[in-house]
Amino acid sequence: FSHQGEMPLIVQPVLQPLRLSLDKLRDVSSRLHKGLVQGLGKHSHHRAAVKMLPTFVRATPDGTEKGDFLALDLGGTNFRVLHVRVLQAEQKVVKMDSQICVVPKDMMTGATQQLFDHIASCLGDFIASQELKGQTLPLGFTFSFPCEQKEIDKSILIRWTKGFNCPGVEGRDVVTLLRDAVRRRGDYDIGSVAMVNDTVGTMMSCGYKDQSCEIGMIIGTGTNACYMEEMKNVKRVEGEDGRMCINTEWGGFGDDGSLRDIQTEFDQMVDKTSINPGVHIFEKMISGMYLGEIVRLLLLRLSEEKLLFKGQKSEVLQTPEIFQTKFISEIEEEDTGLDNARRILTQLDLQWDEADVRVVRLVCDTVSSRSARLCAAALATIANKMRLNRGLDRLQTTVGVDGTVYRKHPNFSEELQLTVRLLAPECSITFLVSEDGSGKGAAMVTAVAQRLCVLFPCLHFLIKSYMSDLKNE
Ligand code: BGC
């Protein structure tokens, strides 16, 4: 731990439960491993907390993909619409243009039709502004929520996560909801749709550059990872050959109570007051949507115990979401961190002294460090599984990564990588920060699906229709 040596004894009892030893992380990793196997099982997946969703992405890019695509991206910080071109000659994905549309907070928990009409209207405006109205381009839809995919273009929402909770969407096909909304407008059309989780988009966007990229990981508003699993282990999908990308939805780890021993009272409080209590327990200990809240609750407790801010009763600290996750990154900056802490505490109207500033930084470090180490344990579990799957002494692989926490926090990535090396010593993992996985990656998935379509599903379809033609004759 970067600041462990300096931990003032006095705050130790409050922070200690958040400090996870390597042995504890190994233990968490072996629990997750059991969870992954349960999620893949034909008969056990219904009860599994870690959903292990088949994505129907059977191949990573091979560099022959090309064409123009539209991409939608819903589920991170913003909703975006993009026009993307995949250039085969230069092995490059080029973003032609993009537009951000705000999804108002009340729409995130409002009526289904209103949300999808908003999406269709943003897409319509964008298509018009790009003068693409007459064309029907294939569309990659990055929809970053757990979905049961039946095919690449049929995706049933299992549950909302993060800040979204529109009643009535769970259990329905998101592609149908989108197509219906586009039809209601009637002024443009969309071609084939490929549904993509952001982890998959991230893996695929890195995969164009580095063909050994077989894991995608997001540590942003939410957290999750996907990886290429052997088909023979994916018991829920027919076929034994090759691999398929599995969206683990590791955020749900712990929803069956399996993380109770490491959940602190602060985690329980964050969960209880969230819009989806009891679900995505692992995510709530890790991702950007929740880290600021955990810090706030710790600061509140320390001040109640008169260990901070001279024990002032502070209404500020009782205000949910007042301590933003980005403050953690700012306060942990190596050179400017303490100054940033002084500025932030002043802005929050807290009466602080120099000792307080250091304790606040320690609290931030403890919370972000736990998050990085838990992610490392989860990533190590996947890498170790892939190595054993393939019967290798050593696995060499690349992880495509994205998300504000990973990108913006000053030492998150370093701590994560260091811990993975300790927990998966037989794996050499290269980390590649994805360039706009949710946008370009979605286009890539669509492009690979189209490339493969020539080989597999279309062939399959042709054979099927040929056979039925024969029958009819
Ligand atoms: C969602 C995942 C997504 C992750 C990162 C989670 O809340 O369930 O589908 O990949 O956030 O955006």
- pTM for this entry: 0.90
- CA–CA distance from 405 to each of 38, 343, 375, 401, 439 (Å)? 29, 21, 11, 11, 18
**Ligand 1 centroid distance, CA of 466 (Å):** 41
Residue 162 among the catalytic residues: yes
For ligand 1, atom 11, the nearest C-alpha belongs to: 222
Nearest-angstrom CA–CA distance, 334 and 3: 12
Which residue has a Cα nearest atom 8 of ligand 1?
145
Cβ pair 213, 396 in contact under 8 A: no
Query: Cβ < 6 Å from ligand 1: which residues?
Result: 75-76, 144-146, 161-162, 197-199, 218, 220, 222-224, 249, 251, 283
Domains and CATH numbers, the chain: 6-53+212-433 (3.40.367.20), 67-196 (3.30.420.40)
Q: What is the pLDDT of residue 463?
A: 32
Tens of pLDDT along the chain (473 residues) come to 344 445 667 888 999 999 999 999 999 999 999 999 999 999 999 999 999 999 988 777 777 777 888 989 998 667 999 998 888 777 677 778 899 999 998 999 999 999 999 999 999 999 999 988 888 888 989 999 999 988 888 999 999 999 899 999 999 999 999 999 999 999 999 988 888 899 998 998 888 778 899 999 999 999 999 999 999 999 988 888 999 999 999 999 999 999 999 999 999 999 999 999 999 999 999 999 999 999 999 999 999 999 999 988 788 999 999 999 999 999 999 999 999 999 999 999 999 999 999 999 999 999 999 999 999 999 999 999 999 999 999 999 999 999 999 999 999 999 999 999 999 999 999 999 987 777 777 777 777 777 765 433 333 333 333 333 333 33
Q: How far apart are CA 399 and CA 415, in angstroms?
A: 16
Decide: residue 189, CB within 10 A, 0-12 exposed, 13-18 middle, 19+ buried: middle
Sheet strands (E) in 59-212: 67-74, 79-87, 92-101, 139-143, 147-151, 154-157, 193-196
Which DSSP category does 336 fall into? T
Closest ligand 1 atom, CA of 280? 7
Rounded Cα gap, residues 280 and 273, in angstroms: 13
The pLDDT value given to residue 470: 34
Alpha helix segments (H runs only) across 325-455? 325-332, 337-347, 354-389, 404-408, 412-423, 442-455
Check 73, 153, 162, 267 and give the catalytic one. Answer: 162
Q: Contact, 199 vs 247, CB < 8 A?
A: yes
* Cα(266)–Cα(229) distance, integer angstroms: 35
Query: What's the 151 CA to ligand 1 centre distance in angstroms?
Result: 19
- Distance, CA 376 to ligand 1 centroid (Å)? 17
For helices 325-332 and 337-347, angle between their N-to-C axes, nearest 10 degrees? 140
The position carrying tokens 């609290």 is 363
Q: Name which residue sits closest to atom 1 of ligand 1, judged by CA.
A: 145
- Residue at 217: amino acid letter: M
Tokens of 416: 């994560």
198 given a catalytic annotation: yes
Q: How far is C-alpha 37 from the geometric centre of its chain's CA atoms? A: 20
Check: CB of residue 333 under 8 Å from CB of residue 341. no
The preferred substitution site among 161, 247, 438 for testing ligand 1, maximizing ligand atoms within 8 Å of CB, is: 161
User: Could you tell me the CA-to-CA distances from 149 to 56, 146, 195, 367, 444 in Å, in that order?
Assistant: 7, 9, 8, 34, 18
**CB of 68 closer than 8 Å to CB of 84:** yes
CA distances (Å), origin 220, targets 171, 286, 353, 367: 25, 9, 32, 15
Best of 57, 198, 227, 406 to mutate for ligand 1, by most ligand atoms within 8 A of CB? 198
Question: How remote is the CA of residue 258 from the centroid of ligand 1, in Å?
Answer: 20
